[in-house]
Amino acid sequence: MAVQDLHSERELVLLLKEKNNKAFGYLYDNYSAALFGIIHQIIDDNELASDILQEVFINIWRRIETYDPSKGRLFTWMLNIARNASIDTLRSKNYQNSKKNQELPDDVNNIGSGTPIIQANIDNIGLRKILERLKPEHRILIELAYFKGYTHEEISKIESIPLGTVKTRIRNALLQLKEYLQ
């Protein structure tokens, strides 16, 4: 089966499990931009985000045998690998130390004003549209947990709501998202 003849995700996964280089190239070409957008949403450094993206694809290549289609789609599985790698980097001591010694930009007043490039990447994969269907109190929690990398405890403090409420709302939001994606 040639890569250009792929008709399904299942066929792609079979080729990847056979360690087919062309299938891996196809995977990279078709998913790297979306995964980079997710990584960059968490790690606001292009060079570091690119390094993490490379690590993510190495992990995908090495761990494709652990992918279970009954638990979700291939993209969701890869997205979780990318998200976890980004959060691990964000929480690492090396990353924390590197942020302590950064110079302030000339225009300090615009810090935190948002990054339209990231927004475009999320919009390209349709994620923003799906998130907009959630209730605002659910959407903010998903964004904090999955795009900013905060723990449930941190979100509880940030939003000034009980930890149990955070967990319940995130669970409900994920169930809603699952329905929207099916």
For 110-140, what is each residue's pLDDT tens digit? Answer: 444 444 444 444 444 566 777 888 888 888 8
Alpha-carbon separation of residue 164 from 61, 137, 155 (angstroms)? 37, 14, 11
CA distance 17 to 23: 10
pLDDT at 19: 93
pLDDT of residue 55: 95
Distance CA 56, CA 59 (A): 5
Which listed CATH number (3.30.1330.40, 3.40.50.720, 1.10.3720.10, 1.10.1740.10) goes with 7-96+117-125?
Answer: 1.10.1740.10
Asked if residue 150 lies in contact with residue 166, where contact means CB atoms within 8 angstroms, the answer is no
126-182: same fold as 7-96+117-125? no
Q: How far apart are CA 76 and CA 31, in angstroms?
A: 11
Going from N- to C-terminal start, the domains of the chain cover: 7-96+117-125, 126-182
| pLDDT for the residue numbered 8 | 84
| CA 53 to centroid of chain Cα atoms | 10
Q: Give the rounded distance of the alpha carbon of 180 from its chain centre.
A: 18
Secondary-structure class of domain 126-182 per CATH: mainly alpha
Q: What is the pLDDT of residue 181?
A: 73
Q: Residue 91, Cα to own-chain centre: how many angstroms?
A: 15
Q: Which long-range contacts (CB under 8 A, 24 or more apart) does 141-147 make?
A: 141/166, 141/169, 141/170, 141/173, 142/170, 142/173, 142/174, 142/177, 145/170, 146/83, 147/38, 147/41, 147/42
Return per-residue pLDDT of the chain as tens, 182 residues: 555 555 688 999 999 999 999 999 999 999 999 999 999 988 888 999 999 999 999 999 999 999 999 988 999 999 999 999 998 888 876 655 555 555 545 544 444 444 444 444 444 456 677 788 888 888 888 888 877 778 888 889 888 999 999 999 988 888 888 887 76
CA distance 143 to 112: 15
Residues 6+ apart with CB under 8 A from 22: 2, 3, 15
Q: Is the pTM of this model over 0.75?
A: no
